[in-house]
Amino acid sequence: MKKVELVQISKSYNHHTNVLENINVSIEPGEFFVLVGPSGCGKSTLLRMIAGLEDISQGKLFIGGHHANLLRPSQRGISFVFQNYALYPHLTVAENIVFGLQAQKVPKNERNKRCIEVADMLGLIPFLKRKPRELSGGQRQRVALARSIVSQAPICLMDEPLSNLDAKLRSHMRSEIKQIQRRLGLTMIYVTHDQVEAMTMGDRIMVLNEGKIQQIGDPLQIYNHPANAFVAQFIGSPPMNLIPATFNKQKQTIQIEYHHEILVPLHDVRNISNEDIIVGIRPEDIHLARNEPIHFQIEVVNVEVLGTETIISFKIKDQQWSMKWNGQWRIAIGDRIPISLDYQVLSIFDSKTGTALKNAKADTHYKINEVNL
């Protein structure tokens, strides 16, 4: 296991286009570290810089405590799993798996031993004599993963390896990759634009946008305490609902629209200095109004019944919001429903910078349950 450190790493092309700016992060030995962000934010470029496939414009890269900026890819002790598998079509599965070992001149007996061990681990024994064209997408992905594992490199880089798979196979492979990483003690750096993958797989997550770090933390920390409005809306499924609002310090209220006002507790009034703010609320925190004060009367514009939960969409001003309720609800498009909002579950952001001014009280509404064994 090796530590990977990035110190003030930047990447630009032709000294004009900044792809990445001032990336500072330490990835601990044996950690499953996920880079997540929208397409074009610089995730894959950062991964390729760590691998030595892209030059570093500024900053320093340390691998296992050694300065690695000028090291060749073969000297970095890294394996790489690409998005498009990159298998040799004329070679069998077994030959694809050990191809890198042949280049390293590993003895044949050792190559065969490692190949069988890894193929057994990934359920590839029945396919060792097949060519890639005879495999399904999931089987090809496992071959690419096997080729990476068989190298026994202490650091494994993965660039959106599951994006070409169907939903069921993605779920299976997420679990499989995580288990293999734990079993082998690999330092894993995993790139994805899928926030579900990031939340379910990562020990820590780094959220990138436009080449800049937005937040680094464990999945629950990022979900419960987003650093800004971008992170709040990017992490979560469905994403957090956001809308411009006005804070009135004298009346001690947040006004979201016309007559929709939410009372701010006195002890929190002093923490909000901005008049123009952005209010955010998670879809699961919008409830059907029963005995509570009714803050909104909404008209349903879409309903998705998913079996164990129902996602209901409605509009506030020109924005579409979602709410997620447990169970199955018989609701039709066009129905008018009374809903309630609790100040405690609101997140508040600066309208200019997007910086979080207040997060929802996660300890109350997202209680982490413990299992006593």
Q: What is the pLDDT of residue 270?
A: 65
* Of the candidate ranges 75-79, 189-193, 368-372, the one whose mean pLDDT is the lowest: 368-372
Please, which residues bridge with residue 336 across strands? 299
Mean pLDDT value of segment 120-124: 85
Report if residue 369 sits inside a domain: no
For residue 339, the enclosing domain spans 229-361
Total domains in the chain come to: 2
Report if residue 373 sits inside a domain: no
Report if residue 371 sits inside a domain: no
Same-domain check for residues 194 and 235:
no
Same-domain check for residues 94 and 135:
yes
Report if residue 281 sits inside a domain: yes
Q: What CATH number is associated with residue 27?
A: 3.40.50.300
Rounded distance, CA 235 to CA 238, Å?
9
**26 or 144: which carries more pLDDT confidence?**
26
B/e letters for 319-354, b = 16+ CB within 10 Å, e = fewer, are eebbbbbeeeeeeeeeeebebebbbebbbbbbbeeb
Report if residue 368 sits inside a domain: no
Give the helix ranges, DSSP H, for 105-228.
108-121, 137-150, 167-184, 195-201, 219-224
B/e letters for 145-177, b = 16+ CB within 10 Å, e = fewer, are bbbbbbbebbbbbbbbbbeebeeebbeebbebb
Domain-ending residue, one of 189, 224, 259: 224
Report if residue 190 sits inside a domain: yes
Same-domain check for residues 172 and 240:
no
* Of the candidate ranges 62-71, 183-192, 203-212, 250-259, the one whose mean pLDDT is the lowest: 250-259
Domain-ending residue, one of 205, 224, 243: 224
144, 85 contact by CB (below 8 A):
yes
**249 or 324: which carries more pLDDT confidence?**
324
Domain-ending residue, one of 201, 224, 247: 224
Q: What CATH number is associated with residue 267?
A: 2.40.50.140
Helix (H, G, I), strand (E, B) or coil at 60: strand
109, exposed or middle or buried, with CB in 10 Å at 0-12, 13-18, 19+?
exposed
